[in-house]
Protein backbone atom coordinates (compact mmCIF):
# COMPACT_ATOMS: atom_id res chain seq x y z
CA UNK A 1 0.00 0.00 0.00
CA UNK A 2 1.57 3.32 -1.01
CA UNK A 3 2.55 5.41 1.98
CA UNK A 4 2.36 2.60 4.54
CA UNK A 5 5.60 2.54 6.60
CA UNK A 6 7.70 -0.61 6.20
CA UNK A 7 10.88 -1.81 7.94
CA UNK A 8 14.42 -1.52 6.70
CA UNK A 9 16.16 -4.92 6.43
CA UNK A 10 18.04 -4.29 9.70
CA UNK A 11 14.79 -3.46 11.47
CA UNK A 12 13.14 -6.58 10.10
CA UNK A 13 16.04 -8.77 11.30
CA UNK A 14 15.96 -7.11 14.73
CA UNK A 15 12.24 -7.72 15.13
CA UNK A 16 12.57 -11.31 13.95
CA UNK A 17 15.36 -11.87 16.50
CA UNK A 18 12.98 -10.79 19.25
CA UNK A 19 15.20 -11.33 22.29
CA UNK A 20 18.75 -10.28 23.11
CA UNK A 21 21.15 -9.85 26.03
CA UNK A 22 23.22 -6.74 26.77
CA UNK A 23 26.36 -7.19 28.86
CA UNK A 24 27.39 -4.22 31.02
CA UNK A 25 30.97 -4.24 32.24
CA UNK A 26 32.78 -1.20 33.60
CA UNK A 27 35.69 -0.02 35.72
CA UNK A 28 33.68 0.67 38.87
CA UNK A 29 33.10 -3.06 39.47
CA UNK A 30 36.65 -3.18 40.82
CA UNK A 31 36.76 -0.17 43.19
CA UNK A 32 35.05 -1.77 46.22
CA UNK A 33 32.52 1.07 46.31
CA UNK A 34 28.83 0.38 45.82
CA UNK A 35 27.67 1.89 42.55
CA UNK A 36 25.51 4.99 42.65
CA UNK A 37 24.91 6.34 39.16
CA UNK A 38 24.78 10.05 39.98
CA UNK A 39 27.96 9.88 42.07
CA UNK A 40 29.77 7.65 39.59
CA UNK A 41 29.19 10.13 36.81
CA UNK A 42 30.76 12.92 38.90
CA UNK A 43 33.49 10.94 40.64
CA UNK A 44 34.41 7.82 38.63
CA UNK A 45 37.44 5.70 39.59
CA UNK A 46 40.74 7.36 38.71
CA UNK A 47 42.94 4.34 38.04
CA UNK A 48 42.15 2.09 35.06
CA UNK A 49 44.70 -0.37 36.46
CA UNK A 50 42.13 -1.67 38.93
CA UNK A 51 40.34 -3.36 36.01
CA UNK A 52 41.56 -6.93 36.46
CA UNK A 53 39.12 -9.79 35.76
CA UNK A 54 40.96 -12.93 36.83
CA UNK A 55 38.94 -15.58 34.98
CA UNK A 56 37.44 -13.77 32.03
CA UNK A 57 35.53 -16.13 29.74
CA UNK A 58 33.30 -14.44 27.19
CA UNK A 59 32.34 -17.86 25.84
CA UNK A 60 30.58 -18.33 29.18
CA UNK A 61 28.72 -15.03 28.70
CA UNK A 62 27.42 -16.22 25.36
CA UNK A 63 26.52 -19.62 26.77
CA UNK A 64 24.37 -17.79 29.32
CA UNK A 65 22.67 -15.81 26.56
CA UNK A 66 22.08 -18.96 24.53
CA UNK A 67 20.64 -20.76 27.54
CA UNK A 68 18.07 -17.98 27.91
CA UNK A 69 17.05 -18.33 24.27
CA UNK A 70 18.53 -14.97 23.21
CA UNK A 71 19.21 -14.47 19.51
CA UNK A 72 21.79 -11.67 19.74
CA UNK A 73 24.22 -10.16 22.25
CA UNK A 74 25.45 -6.61 22.81
CA UNK A 75 28.59 -5.52 24.66
CA UNK A 76 28.70 -2.05 26.22
CA UNK A 77 32.08 -0.90 24.92
CA UNK A 78 32.15 2.28 27.02
CA UNK A 79 30.02 3.55 29.84
CA UNK A 80 29.75 6.61 32.05
CA UNK A 81 33.11 6.29 33.84
CA UNK A 82 34.87 7.01 30.52
CA UNK A 83 36.50 3.58 30.64
CA UNK A 84 36.82 1.98 27.20
CA UNK A 85 36.99 -1.76 26.62
CA UNK A 86 38.62 -0.79 23.34
CA UNK A 87 41.58 1.56 23.13
CA UNK A 88 40.67 4.44 20.82
CA UNK A 89 43.26 4.83 18.08
CA UNK A 90 44.81 1.45 18.78
CA UNK A 91 43.83 -2.19 18.29
CA UNK A 92 40.63 -2.70 20.35
CA UNK A 93 41.13 -4.72 23.50
CA UNK A 94 38.73 -7.48 22.55
CA UNK A 95 40.38 -8.15 19.20
CA UNK A 96 39.06 -7.94 15.66
CA UNK A 97 37.44 -11.38 15.68
CA UNK A 98 36.04 -11.37 19.21
CA UNK A 99 32.51 -12.81 19.15
CA UNK A 100 30.97 -10.61 21.86
CA UNK A 101 32.13 -7.37 20.29
CA UNK A 102 31.00 -8.36 16.81
CA UNK A 103 27.52 -9.32 18.05
CA UNK A 104 25.18 -11.36 15.87
CA UNK A 105 25.68 -11.85 12.15
CA UNK A 106 22.51 -13.84 11.48
CA UNK A 107 19.88 -13.30 14.16
CA UNK A 108 17.79 -16.20 12.90
CA UNK A 109 20.17 -18.72 14.44
CA UNK A 110 20.94 -19.54 18.02
CA UNK A 111 23.57 -17.44 19.78
CA UNK A 112 25.98 -20.37 20.00
CA UNK A 113 25.97 -20.64 16.21
CA UNK A 114 25.70 -16.95 15.45
CA UNK A 115 28.62 -15.97 17.66
CA UNK A 116 31.20 -18.75 17.27
CA UNK A 117 32.94 -18.19 20.56
CA UNK A 118 35.06 -21.30 20.27
CA UNK A 119 37.11 -19.63 17.55
CA UNK A 120 38.47 -17.05 19.93
CA UNK A 121 38.54 -18.10 23.56
CA UNK A 122 39.65 -15.01 25.48
CA UNK A 123 40.95 -15.94 28.92
CA UNK A 124 42.64 -12.68 29.85
CA UNK A 125 41.49 -9.19 29.01
CA UNK A 126 44.23 -6.55 28.67
CA UNK A 127 43.53 -3.33 30.52
CA UNK A 128 41.48 -0.80 28.61
CA UNK A 129 41.95 2.94 28.48
CA UNK A 130 40.41 5.70 30.56
CA UNK A 131 39.09 8.59 28.49
CA UNK A 132 37.11 10.94 30.68
CA UNK A 133 36.07 13.90 28.58
CA UNK A 134 32.39 13.11 29.25
CA UNK A 135 30.08 10.56 30.74
CA UNK A 136 28.95 9.28 27.36
CA UNK A 137 28.82 10.00 23.66
CA UNK A 138 25.35 11.45 23.97
CA UNK A 139 26.41 14.17 26.39
CA UNK A 140 28.51 17.33 26.15
CA UNK A 141 32.01 17.00 27.53
CA UNK A 142 32.31 16.71 31.28
CA UNK A 143 32.86 19.80 33.36
CA UNK A 144 36.57 20.27 33.97
CA UNK A 145 37.63 18.07 31.08
CA UNK A 146 40.95 19.07 29.51
CA UNK A 147 39.40 18.40 26.09
CA UNK A 148 37.38 20.88 24.16
CA UNK A 149 33.97 19.75 22.87
CA UNK A 150 35.51 19.65 19.38
CA UNK A 151 38.32 17.35 20.54
CA UNK A 152 35.83 15.17 22.34
CA UNK A 153 33.71 14.90 19.20
CA UNK A 154 36.72 13.72 17.19
CA UNK A 155 37.46 11.12 19.89
CA UNK A 156 33.94 9.72 19.66
CA UNK A 157 34.08 9.67 15.85
CA UNK A 158 37.34 7.69 15.95
CA UNK A 159 35.85 5.30 18.48
CA UNK A 160 32.73 4.71 16.37
CA UNK A 161 34.85 4.16 13.26
CA UNK A 162 36.98 1.64 15.12
CA UNK A 163 33.91 -0.25 16.36
CA UNK A 164 32.36 -0.19 12.90
CA UNK A 165 35.49 -1.45 11.11
CA UNK A 166 37.13 -4.02 13.45
CA UNK A 167 34.37 -6.53 14.12
CA UNK A 168 32.77 -7.46 10.82
CA UNK A 169 29.05 -6.97 10.22
CA UNK A 170 27.36 -5.72 13.39
CA UNK A 171 23.76 -6.32 14.41
CA UNK A 172 22.98 -3.27 16.57
CA UNK A 173 24.90 -0.13 17.49
CA UNK A 174 23.41 1.24 20.69
CA UNK A 175 23.84 4.78 21.98
CA UNK A 176 21.93 4.59 25.26
CA UNK A 177 19.87 7.74 25.68
CA UNK A 178 20.80 8.84 22.17
CA UNK A 179 23.78 10.75 20.81
CA UNK A 180 23.97 14.47 20.17
CA UNK A 181 23.81 15.44 16.52
CA UNK A 182 26.33 17.78 14.88
CA UNK A 183 23.57 20.42 14.77
CA UNK A 184 23.44 20.24 18.59
CA UNK A 185 27.22 20.35 18.92
CA UNK A 186 27.85 16.61 19.03
CA UNK A 187 30.03 14.23 16.98
CA UNK A 188 29.19 13.36 13.37
CA UNK A 189 28.89 9.58 13.68
CA UNK A 190 25.96 8.71 11.42
CA UNK A 191 27.93 8.96 8.14
CA UNK A 192 30.61 6.70 9.66
CA UNK A 193 27.98 4.15 10.67
CA UNK A 194 26.19 4.22 7.31
CA UNK A 195 29.43 3.87 5.38
CA UNK A 196 30.71 0.83 7.27
CA UNK A 197 27.59 -0.89 8.68
CA UNK A 198 24.74 -0.47 6.18
CA UNK A 199 22.94 -3.60 7.43
CA UNK A 200 23.12 -2.78 11.15
CA UNK A 201 20.37 -1.38 13.41
CA UNK A 202 21.12 2.19 14.58
CA UNK A 203 19.87 3.18 18.04
CA UNK A 204 19.68 6.22 18.03
CA UNK A 205 19.87 9.99 17.47
CA UNK A 206 17.61 12.77 16.25
CA UNK A 207 19.05 12.09 12.79
CA UNK A 208 18.04 8.43 12.70
CA UNK A 209 16.25 6.02 15.01
CA UNK A 210 15.74 2.45 13.80
CA UNK A 211 14.12 1.45 17.11
CA UNK A 212 12.62 3.25 20.08
CA UNK A 213 12.77 2.77 23.82
CA UNK A 214 9.50 1.37 25.19
CA UNK A 215 9.30 4.06 27.87
CA UNK A 216 10.25 2.05 30.97
CA UNK A 217 12.93 -0.38 32.13
CA UNK A 218 10.28 -2.93 33.11
CA UNK A 219 10.91 -5.36 30.24
CA UNK A 220 7.40 -4.77 28.92
CA UNK A 221 5.48 -2.56 26.52
CA UNK A 222 1.86 -1.55 26.23
CA UNK A 223 -0.91 -3.50 24.57
CA UNK A 224 -1.26 -2.72 21.73
CA UNK A 225 2.29 -1.87 20.67
CA UNK A 226 2.59 -0.60 17.11
CA UNK A 227 5.92 -0.53 15.27
CA UNK A 228 4.95 2.81 13.74
CA UNK A 229 5.26 6.20 15.36
CA UNK A 230 5.79 9.84 14.43
CA UNK A 231 9.45 10.36 15.25
CA UNK A 232 8.97 14.11 15.57
CA UNK A 233 6.63 13.48 18.51
CA UNK A 234 8.93 10.83 20.00
CA UNK A 235 11.86 13.29 19.90
CA UNK A 236 10.06 15.82 22.05
CA UNK A 237 12.22 16.90 25.00
CA UNK A 238 9.15 16.91 27.25
CA UNK A 239 8.98 13.79 29.42
CA UNK A 240 5.44 13.32 30.60
CA UNK A 241 2.75 10.65 30.72
CA UNK A 242 1.69 11.33 27.14
CA UNK A 243 5.19 10.72 25.81
CA UNK A 244 5.63 7.51 27.80
CA UNK A 245 2.29 6.36 26.48
CA UNK A 246 3.41 7.08 22.94
CA UNK A 247 6.68 5.17 23.36
CA UNK A 248 4.92 2.23 25.00
CA UNK A 249 2.10 1.90 22.48
CA UNK A 250 3.36 3.54 19.29
CA UNK A 251 0.89 5.09 16.86
CA UNK A 252 -1.05 3.05 14.26
CA UNK A 253 -1.14 6.14 12.05
CA UNK A 254 2.52 7.05 12.60
CA UNK A 255 4.58 7.95 9.55
CA UNK A 256 7.80 6.22 10.67
CA UNK A 257 8.71 2.56 11.19
CA UNK A 258 10.40 2.49 14.59
CA UNK A 259 9.63 -0.70 16.60
CA UNK A 260 9.79 -0.80 20.37
CA UNK A 261 12.55 -2.14 22.60
CA UNK A 262 11.61 -3.40 26.06
CA UNK A 263 14.65 -3.54 28.34
CA UNK A 264 15.28 -4.57 31.92
CA UNK A 265 18.24 -5.73 34.01
CA UNK A 266 18.21 -9.33 35.19
CA UNK A 267 18.77 -8.00 38.71
CA UNK A 268 16.16 -5.51 39.92
CA UNK A 269 17.28 -2.77 39.40
CA UNK A 270 21.02 -3.27 38.77
CA UNK A 271 22.64 -3.05 35.36
CA UNK A 272 26.07 -3.75 36.93
CA UNK A 273 27.21 -6.51 39.25
CA UNK A 274 27.34 -5.87 42.98
CA UNK A 275 28.48 -8.45 45.54
CA UNK A 276 25.87 -10.37 47.56
CA UNK A 277 22.94 -9.04 45.52
CA UNK A 278 21.68 -12.34 44.12
CA UNK A 279 18.42 -11.70 46.00
CA UNK A 280 17.71 -8.94 43.46
CA UNK A 281 17.39 -11.42 40.60
CA UNK A 282 13.92 -11.16 39.15
CA UNK A 283 11.78 -14.20 40.00
CA UNK A 284 11.41 -16.60 37.11
CA UNK A 285 7.66 -16.01 36.87
CA UNK A 286 8.21 -12.27 36.46
CA UNK A 287 10.81 -12.79 33.73
CA UNK A 288 8.43 -15.05 31.83
CA UNK A 289 5.76 -12.35 32.08
CA UNK A 290 8.29 -9.84 30.73
CA UNK A 291 8.87 -12.08 27.72
CA UNK A 292 5.23 -12.34 26.80
CA UNK A 293 4.62 -8.64 27.56
CA UNK A 294 7.34 -7.69 25.07
CA UNK A 295 8.16 -10.40 22.51
CA UNK A 296 4.51 -11.41 22.63
CA UNK A 297 3.41 -7.84 21.95
CA UNK A 298 5.39 -6.96 18.83
CA UNK A 299 8.48 -5.65 20.68
CA UNK A 300 12.08 -6.82 21.11
CA UNK A 301 13.20 -7.72 24.64
CA UNK A 302 16.74 -6.94 25.79
CA UNK A 303 17.77 -8.19 29.24
CA UNK A 304 20.85 -6.83 30.99
CA UNK A 305 23.35 -9.40 32.30
CA UNK A 306 26.03 -8.57 34.87
CA UNK A 307 29.43 -10.27 34.62
CA UNK A 308 31.28 -10.09 37.95
CA UNK A 309 34.85 -9.21 38.92
CA UNK A 310 36.06 -12.61 37.77
CA UNK A 311 34.81 -11.83 34.26
CA UNK A 312 32.02 -14.42 34.47
CA UNK A 313 28.24 -14.29 34.59
CA UNK A 314 27.59 -15.32 38.22
CA UNK A 315 26.28 -18.84 38.76
CA UNK A 316 22.92 -17.67 40.11
CA UNK A 317 22.41 -15.30 37.16
CA UNK A 318 23.41 -17.99 34.66
CA UNK A 319 20.95 -20.43 36.23
CA UNK A 320 18.13 -17.88 36.17
CA UNK A 321 18.75 -17.25 32.46
CA UNK A 322 18.75 -21.01 31.85
CA UNK A 323 15.48 -21.31 33.76
CA UNK A 324 13.99 -18.53 31.64
CA UNK A 325 14.89 -20.31 28.43
CA UNK A 326 13.34 -23.54 29.63
CA UNK A 327 10.20 -21.82 30.93
CA UNK A 328 9.57 -19.91 27.68
CA UNK A 329 10.06 -23.06 25.61
CA UNK A 330 7.62 -24.91 27.86
CA UNK A 331 5.08 -22.08 27.72
CA UNK A 332 5.19 -22.01 23.91
CA UNK A 333 5.10 -25.78 23.91
CA UNK A 334 4.33 -27.90 20.88
CA UNK A 335 2.70 -26.92 17.58
CA UNK A 336 -0.87 -28.09 17.07
CA UNK A 337 -1.79 -26.45 13.76
CA UNK A 338 -0.46 -23.64 11.57
CA UNK A 339 -0.90 -21.98 8.21
CA UNK A 340 -0.46 -18.68 6.39
CA UNK A 341 -2.91 -16.84 4.19
CA UNK A 342 -3.97 -13.62 2.56
CA UNK A 343 -7.35 -12.10 3.28
CA UNK A 344 -9.76 -11.22 6.06
CA UNK A 345 -10.52 -14.73 7.34
CA UNK A 346 -8.30 -17.73 7.97
CA UNK A 347 -9.63 -21.06 9.26
CA UNK A 348 -7.47 -23.76 10.86
CA UNK A 349 -8.55 -27.38 11.12
CA UNK A 350 -7.43 -28.78 14.48
CA UNK A 351 -6.15 -32.36 14.00
CA UNK A 352 -7.81 -34.81 16.32
CA UNK A 353 -9.59 -32.02 18.17
CA UNK A 354 -6.36 -31.57 20.14
CA UNK A 355 -6.35 -29.05 22.99
CA UNK A 356 -4.32 -25.84 22.67
CA UNK A 357 -3.62 -22.88 24.96
CA UNK A 358 -1.43 -20.56 22.87
CA UNK A 359 -2.33 -18.60 19.75
CA UNK A 360 0.49 -16.96 17.77
CA UNK A 361 -0.28 -14.45 15.01
CA UNK A 362 2.31 -12.91 12.69
CA UNK A 363 1.86 -10.40 9.90
CA UNK A 364 4.20 -10.22 6.94
CA UNK A 365 5.55 -6.88 8.10
CA UNK A 366 7.66 -6.45 4.97
CA UNK A 367 4.46 -4.88 3.71
CA UNK A 368 3.70 -2.95 6.88
CA UNK A 369 1.25 -3.35 9.72
CA UNK A 370 -2.07 -3.68 7.92
CA UNK A 371 -4.32 -5.24 10.55
CA UNK A 372 -6.18 -2.83 12.81
CA UNK A 373 -8.61 -5.14 14.60
CA UNK A 374 -9.07 -8.90 14.78
CA UNK A 375 -10.81 -11.66 16.70
CA UNK A 376 -9.87 -15.33 17.13
CA UNK A 377 -12.75 -17.78 17.47
CA UNK A 378 -13.08 -21.50 18.12
CA UNK A 379 -15.97 -23.51 16.65
CA UNK A 380 -17.61 -25.45 19.41
CA UNK A 381 -20.63 -27.28 17.96
CA UNK A 382 -22.33 -26.85 14.62
CA UNK A 383 -21.87 -23.32 13.39
CA UNK A 384 -21.36 -21.78 16.82
CA UNK A 385 -18.11 -19.80 17.07
CA UNK A 386 -16.82 -18.70 20.46
CA UNK A 387 -14.41 -15.71 20.73
CA UNK A 388 -11.22 -16.75 22.56
CA UNK A 389 -8.87 -13.81 21.84
CA UNK A 390 -8.97 -10.41 20.21
CA UNK A 391 -6.86 -7.34 19.66
CA UNK A 392 -5.84 -4.52 17.38
CA UNK A 393 -2.12 -4.73 16.56
CA UNK A 394 -0.53 -7.96 15.33
CA UNK A 395 2.66 -6.72 13.69
CA UNK A 396 5.64 -9.04 13.69
CA UNK A 397 4.15 -11.22 16.44
CA UNK A 398 1.24 -11.29 18.84
CA UNK A 399 1.01 -14.13 21.34
CA UNK A 400 -2.17 -14.93 23.27
CA UNK A 401 -2.04 -17.38 26.18
CA UNK A 402 -5.37 -18.98 26.94
CA UNK A 403 -7.01 -21.59 29.15
CA UNK A 404 -6.92 -25.04 27.56
CA UNK A 405 -9.28 -24.89 24.59
CA UNK A 406 -10.73 -27.46 22.21
CA UNK A 407 -12.58 -27.20 18.96
CA UNK A 408 -12.44 -28.87 15.55
CA UNK A 409 -11.75 -25.53 13.91
CA UNK A 410 -10.30 -22.16 14.90
CA UNK A 411 -10.41 -19.03 12.81
CA UNK A 412 -9.05 -15.51 12.86
CA UNK A 413 -11.23 -12.78 11.41
CA UNK A 414 -9.69 -9.46 10.48
CA UNK A 415 -12.40 -6.97 11.29
CA UNK A 416 -10.52 -3.89 10.18
CA UNK A 417 -7.40 -3.36 8.05
CA UNK A 418 -5.75 -0.64 5.99
CA UNK A 419 -5.09 -3.01 3.07
CA UNK A 420 -5.40 -6.72 2.26
CA UNK A 421 -4.24 -8.54 5.41
CA UNK A 422 -1.13 -10.69 4.95
CA UNK A 423 -0.69 -13.22 7.75
CA UNK A 424 2.72 -14.86 7.67
CA UNK A 425 1.42 -17.42 10.17
CA UNK A 426 -1.58 -18.30 12.31
CA UNK A 427 -0.49 -20.91 14.79
CA UNK A 428 -2.00 -22.91 17.63
CA UNK A 429 0.30 -24.39 20.26
CA UNK A 430 -0.02 -26.42 23.44
CA UNK A 431 2.19 -25.62 26.42
CA UNK A 432 4.07 -28.44 28.14
CA UNK A 433 4.80 -28.89 31.81
What is the sign of the dihedral through the CA atoms of 200, 204, 210 and 211? positive
Domain boundary among 332, 350, 375: 332
In this structure, the answer to whether residues 318 and 426 fall within a common structural domain is no
In this structure, the answer to whether residues 172 and 268 fall within a common structural domain is yes
Q: How far is CA 422 from CA 31, 282, 286, 367, in A?
A: 55, 37, 33, 8
For residue 3, tell me if it sits in a domain: no
Cα angle 278, 280, 281; round to 5? 75
For residue 384, tell me if it sits in a domain: yes
pLDDT above 90 as % of the chain: 69
What is the average pLDDT value for the chain, to the nearest integer? 86
Q: What is d(CA 192, CA 20) in angstroms, rounded to the nearest whole number?
A: 25
For residue 260, tell me if it sits in a domain: yes
In this structure, the answer to whether residues 62 and 194 fall within a common structural domain is yes
pTM strictly above 0.85:
yes
The pLDDT of residue 84: 81
Q: Taking residues 300-324, what's their average pLDDT? A: 97
CB 92 within 8 A of CB 86: yes
Q: What is d(CA 193, CA 161) in angstroms, rounded to the nearest whole number?
A: 7
The pLDDT of residue 168: 87
CB 215 within 8 A of CB 225: no
In this structure, the answer to whether residues 328 and 416 fall within a common structural domain is no
Domain of residue 139, CATH code: 3.20.20.80
The candidate with the shortest Cα–Cα distance to 110, out of 82, 148, 68, 81, is: 68
The pLDDT of residue 85: 81
CB 364 within 8 A of CB 423: yes
Name the least confident of 109-113, 178-182, 205-209, 397-401: 109-113
Q: Is 75 helix (H, G, I), strand (E, B) or coil?
A: strand
In this structure, the answer to whether residues 269 and 295 fall within a common structural domain is yes
Residue 91 pLDDT more than 60? no
Cα angle 393, 365, 430; round to 5? 65
The pLDDT of residue 105: 28
Taken as a whole, the chain contains a residue count of 433
Name the least confident of 62-66, 134-138, 251-255, 382-386: 134-138
The pLDDT of residue 159: 87
As for how many domains the chain has, the answer is 2
For 217-228, the pLDDT digits (tens) are 999 999 999 999
The pLDDT of residue 151: 85
Domain of residue 408, CATH code: 2.60.120.260
The pLDDT of residue 112: 31
Domain boundary among 277, 297, 332: 332
The pLDDT of residue 123: 29
CB 176 within 8 A of CB 222: no
In this structure, the answer to whether residues 107 and 255 fall within a common structural domain is yes
In this structure, the answer to whether residues 168 and 179 fall within a common structural domain is yes
The candidate with the shortest Cα–Cα distance to 258, out of 351, 355, 365, is: 365
Name the least confident of 102-116, 208-222, 273-287, 410-424: 102-116
DSSP H or E run through 403: strand 398-405
The pLDDT of residue 131: 46
CB 111 within 8 A of CB 73: yes
- Dihedral-angle region of residue 427 (phi above 0 means left; psi in -120 to 50 means alpha; beta otherwise): beta
The pLDDT of residue 155: 85
In this structure, the answer to whether residues 340 and 215 fall within a common structural domain is no
For 31-89, the pLDDT digits (tens) are 999 988 878 777 888 888 898 999 999 999 999 999 999 999 999 888 877 788 865 55
First to last CA, the chain: 43
In this structure, the answer to whether residues 308 and 392 fall within a common structural domain is no
In this structure, the answer to whether residues 175 and 295 fall within a common structural domain is yes
Widest distance between CA atoms in the chain: 80
In this structure, the answer to whether residues 316 and 373 fall within a common structural domain is no
Print the domain residue range for 81: 9-332
Cα angle 2, 260, 160; round to 5? 100
The pLDDT of residue 2: 53
The pLDDT of residue 177: 85
Domain boundary among 332, 353, 370: 332
For residue 406, tell me if it sits in a domain: yes
Q: What is d(CA 417, CA 234) in angstroms, rounded to the nearest whole number?
A: 25
Strand order in the sheet with 72-75: 72-75, 19-23, 300-305, 260-265, 212-213
For residue 252, tell me if it sits in a domain: yes
For residue 1, tell me if it sits in a domain: no
Residue 316 pLDDT more than 60? yes
In this structure, the answer to whether residues 223 and 286 fall within a common structural domain is yes
For residue 216, tell me if it sits in a domain: yes
3-state helix, strand and coil shares in percent for the chain, rounded to the nearest 5: 30, 25, 45
The pLDDT of residue 99: 33
For 7-17, the pLDDT digits (tens) are 999 999 999 99
Q: Are strands 19-23 and 72-75 parallel, antiparallel or unpaired?
A: parallel
Q: Taking residues 362-385, what's their average pLDDT? A: 94
For 159-198, the pLDDT digits (tens) are 899 889 888 899 999 998 889 899 999 999 999 999 999 9
The pLDDT of residue 407: 92
DSSP H or E run through 264: strand 260-265
The pLDDT of residue 322: 98
CB 218 within 8 A of CB 262: yes
Rounded-to-10 torsion of CA 238, 242, 248, 252? -110
* DSSP labels, 34-61: ---HHHHHHS--S-GGG---SS--HHHH
For residue 4, tell me if it sits in a domain: no
Residue 204 pLDDT more than 70? yes
Amino acid sequence: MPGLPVPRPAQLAWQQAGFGIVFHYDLHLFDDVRYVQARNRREPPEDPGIFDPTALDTDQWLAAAAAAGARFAILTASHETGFRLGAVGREPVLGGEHPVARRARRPGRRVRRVLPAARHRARHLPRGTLERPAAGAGLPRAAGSPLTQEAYNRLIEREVEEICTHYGPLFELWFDGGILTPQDGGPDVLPIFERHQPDCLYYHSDQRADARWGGTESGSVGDPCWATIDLAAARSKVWDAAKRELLSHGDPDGADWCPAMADAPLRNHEWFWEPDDEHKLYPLEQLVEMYFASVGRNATLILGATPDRRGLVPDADFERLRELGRAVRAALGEPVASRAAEGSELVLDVPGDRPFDVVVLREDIRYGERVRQYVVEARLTGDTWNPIASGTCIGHQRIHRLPATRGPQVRVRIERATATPLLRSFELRRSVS
